[in-house]
A and B are shown apart, each in its own frame.
Chain A
Amino acid sequence: MRLWLGLALCAGPLAAQSARARLEGRVPGAAVPVVDSLVQRASGEGLPTEPLIQKALEGGAKQITAPRIVAAVEVSLGQLRDARDLLVHAGDEPPVTPGEVTTVAWALRRGLPDPVVERVLAALPRPPRASAMHAVADLAAHHFDPDSAADLIIAAIGQGLVRERLLDVSAAAAHELQRGHTHAEALALVRQELPNVPTSPKPTRSAVAKARRPAAPPPP
């Protein structure tokens, strides 16, 4: 038990230590120490560091200037803090899981209002909530009212639909829109179908045969 606790406590700082190595040569030199310090700070606060590293790497790949990369990483850090606060406010015991912070940060970035996120969190007291959040955000992206979208997903949870199938609910509603129904009709139709919404197709055998793994990144 002590060993696991020790490993868990070391994991954050170790990840933060390896951040600089991942950034060197991929991000403008001027940005590396600043981003690294932001990563260290996030690690110290118990926040996930990977989204910050990814944002810096993305900026470097897109040949963005150092100040703009640092600004974007600062924005990302702020989003992670907001996500953590929202989780705690919704009833998650601190320290909150980094995976859940990332999930809520995604939901906020995708434009879901705080009260909607909190409602979904309350409906799913235990992680993982990624599928539910993405399902609501997908519906909002299709111009469904976020509150109504959350109602539908919460109804699906209430009907015992497994979490991974929640994405099928949003897909079914989007499908009803494509068939010419209004947003209200689409929501009503899918609600009637619950919990028997169509399952999204699995990858075909030919798709699996063609699939390949991305090449491993070269050593830093």
Chain B
Amino acid sequence: MNAIDPRVHQALDGELSPEALSPELRRVVEWVVTTAAVLAAPLPLASLEPRVMALIRRPVPSRARRLLRWLATPRSITFRVRPVWSLALAAVVALLTLFPIGREGPDIGEHEGIAQFVGRFPEAQSVHVVGSFNDWRPGSIALEDVDQDGVWRATVVLPAGAYEYMFVVDGERWVPDHLAERLVADEFGRENSIVIVRPARR
């Protein structure tokens, strides 16, 4: 750091007239006075406030835009995984792919469909559906009343086609399906219901 000439100090303190100084020292005194005046001037606070307020008032970007920006911003992620866990995870994924959880029920063929039988028999102990789809063999397809509300149901996979059927209640009472819209005389003095099974894979 250069030392300031003591005469400059004296001139700045008013102890010495600037005219008494050499032209070079007079220029130094003038520079110091000018610089001090600039430094002494107040900071432009008035110009900072509007800028801050403008920033605050700027509309907030939408959630989607923020998400997009977050997604687009490059980030570095470090995984520290033991190889044994990686292999275990791969094995679990492979097992879930080969043996999916929650897949129940039979595989339905191209020419097969689903028939749903529903009947209301509040006093019944057992209900079966018997028809041309099971050679009229009583007892092979039982309906269930799971919630004990008197409504008996069965869902059956059958080859696509038309079938005649009846319900057998308590093993002895033959009853047509009152919900079926299709009925046909059975040539034995009663009516059979008709179900048309459409291919499930349409």
Contact = CB atoms under 8 A, between A and B. Distances in A.
B4 to A, nearest CB: 93
A22 B137 CA distance: 11
A164 B105 contact: no
A196 B115 CA distance: 25
Contact of B116 (A59, A60, A207, A214): A207
B186 A58 contact: yes
Contact of A141 (B141, B157, B182, B196): B182
B200 interface: yes
A75 B199 CA distance: 31
A110 interface: yes
A210 B117 CA distance: 12
Interface stretch (A9-17, A30-38, A61-69): A61-69
Interface residues of B, number: 41
A210 B188 contact: no
Contacts of A164: 198-199, 202
Given A141-B182, A211-B155, A212-B155, A217 B196 contact: no
For B133, B134, B135, B164, the residue with the greatest tally of chain A CB atoms inside 10 Å of its CB is: B135
Contact of A203 (B113, B140, B196): B113
B193 to A, nearest CB: 12
Nearest to B186: A58
B188 A59 contact: yes
Given A110-B182, A110-B184, A164-B202, A54 B105 contact: no
A62 B194 CA distance: 17
B182 A138 contact: yes
Interface string A198-213: 0110110001111111
Contacts of A137: 182
Contacts of A183: none
Contacts of A106: 162, 184
Interface in A13-67: 22, 26, 54-55, 57-62, 64
Given A164-B198, A207-B114, A211-B157, A109 B135 contact: no
B115 to A, nearest CB: 9
A206 B121 CA distance: 24
B187 A211 contact: no
Interface in B113-141: 113-114, 116, 130, 132-138, 140-141
Contact of A76 (B114, B161, B187, B194): B187
A141 B196 CA distance: 14
Contacts of B174: 62
Nearest to A208: B105
B196 A212 contact: no
A72 interface: yes
Nearest to B142: A215
B113 to A, nearest CB: 7
Contact of A209 (B104, B156, B202): B104
A71 B182 CA distance: 24
Contact of A207 (B134, B155, B187): B155
A132 interface: no
B198 A200 contact: yes
B2 to A, nearest CB: 90
A134 interface: yes
Sorted from nearest, which 10 A-B pairs have the closest CB atoms? A72-B187, A61-B136, A203-B114, A209-B105, A209-B104, A57-B136, A211-B155, A58-B136, A210-B155, A54-B132
17 contacts: A58-B136, A61-B136, A109-B184, A109-B185, A167-B198, A174-B181, A200-B198, A208-B200, A210-B155, A211-B105, A211-B114, A212-B156, A213-B157, A214-B158, A217-B134, A217-B135, A217-B140
